């Protein structure tokens, strides 16, 4: 991300955001509600357009292309093709209620013609095993707990083998006793070398798994660095005030 700005009318939500995430890195985004974290995340896969700046993955623009000296937004079909490079796990799962867990996972690979049905089913079963849900393949979302639904959502995001996986407060809609099972899956992904960008309020979890922590407030990056510096010895008073309230 380079010099990214985003406004809704006169309200500037993101101001001059510049970030670099290396392959295999785990980056966590922290900040108060309304600070722009979720909007920042949604710009990465072009669920939100940007007003200025640029976002690239391995040099490829997501949602835009150069024509002459200007960036122009791509047609929706091409946006969808490039968006497959970025998996996203939402707060509220967003599973299709009329599809089973397995059907939710194979939907995108089949609709995008990325795999034959037999191969997609085999991959889905592997992913369900990876998130500890081998025995829930034929269950519908209404038959699953919130934690199980979120683990299916993670498996679904992994089905397209994205370059980077985005998590938008993945445990915020869960009962406290279900948080651990979802964090466990994310922890395994972090250890496997998957590139992760995570918006979270779980400070202890961020401290444990993050390679890099970014603190955002009022749409600006206030402070960033390794977790031992940002979370244990923050340089900015605003970061210290935030951590004092949430810890």
136 inside domain: yes
Angle at 87 between CA 91 and CA 62, to 5 degrees: 115
pLDDT reading at 40 higher than 90 = yes
pLDDT at 133: 97
112 against 134, higher pLDDT:
134
Range of the domain at 141: 92-161
| DSSP output for 134-203 | GGGTT--GGGS-HHHHHHHHHHHHHTT--SEEEEESTTTTS-HHHHHHHHHHHHHHHHTT--EEEE-S-H
pLDDT at 153: 97
Average pLDDT estimate for 103-124 = 95
16 against 78, higher pLDDT:
16
What residues does 197 pair with on adjacent strands? Answer: 27, 166
139 inside domain: yes
Q: How far apart are CA 175 and CA 104, in angstroms?
A: 23
Angle at 131 between CA 126 and CA 135, to 5 degrees: 70
pLDDT reading at 72 higher than 90 = no
pLDDT single digits (tens) 179-226: 999 999 999 999 888 999 999 989 999 999 999 999 999 999 999 999
100 inside domain: yes
Q: How far apart are CA 111 and CA 83, in angstroms?
A: 14
103 inside domain: yes
First vs last C-alpha separation in the chain: 29
145 inside domain: yes
67 inside domain: no
pLDDT reading at 247 higher than 90 = no
| DSSP output for 56-121 | EETTEESSEEEETTEEEEPPHHHHHHHHTTEEEE-TT----TTS-HHHHHHHHHHHTT-S-HHHHH
141 inside domain: yes
Among candidate residues 195, 37, 151, the one with its CA nearest the CA of residue 210: 195
pLDDT at 76: 87
Q: Which residue has the tokens 């299916």?
A: 152
pLDDT reading at 19 higher than 90 = yes
28 inside domain: no
Tokens at 10, concatenated = 């006169």
Among candidate residues 40, 43, 42, the one with its CA nearest the CA of residue 30: 40
87 against 72, higher pLDDT:
87
Q: How far apart are CA 106 and CA 97, in angstroms?
A: 14
pLDDT at 67: 87
Q: Are 215 and 40 in contact (CB under 8 A)?
A: no
Among candidate residues 209, 173, 184, 206, the one with its CA nearest the CA of residue 90: 173
- Domain count of the fold of the chain: 1
């Amino acid at each position: 991300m380079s010099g990214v700005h985003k406004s809704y009318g006169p309200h500037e939500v993101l101001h001059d955001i510049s970030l670099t995430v290396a392959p295999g890195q785990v980056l966590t985004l922290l900040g108060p509600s309304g600070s722009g974290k979720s909007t920042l995340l949604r710009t990465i896969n072009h669920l939100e357009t940007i007003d200025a700046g640029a976002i690239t993955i391995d040099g490829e623009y997501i949602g835009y292309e150069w024509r002459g000296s200007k960036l122009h937004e791509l047609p929706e079909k091409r946006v969808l093709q490039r968006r497959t490079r970025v998996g996203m796990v939402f707060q509220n799962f967003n599973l299709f209620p009329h599809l089973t867990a397995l059907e939710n996972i194979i939907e995108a690979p089949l609709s995008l013609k990325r795999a034959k049905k037999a191969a997609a089913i085999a991959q889905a079963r592997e992913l369900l095993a990876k998130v500890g849900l081998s025995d829930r393949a034929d269950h519908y979302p209404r038959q699953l707990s919130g934690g199980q639904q979120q683990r299916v959502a993670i498996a679904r995001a992994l089905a397209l083998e994205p370059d980077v996986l985005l998590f938008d407060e993945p445990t915020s809609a869960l009962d406290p006793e279900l948080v651990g099972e979802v964090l466990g899956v994310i922890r395994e992904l972090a250890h496997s070398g998957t590139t992760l960008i995570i918006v979270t309020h779980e400070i202890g979890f961020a401290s444990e798994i993050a390679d890099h922590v970014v603190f955002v407030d009022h749409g600006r990056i206030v402070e960033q660095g390794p977790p031992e510096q940002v979370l244990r010895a923050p340089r900015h008073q605003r970061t210290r005030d935030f951590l004092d309230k949430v810890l």
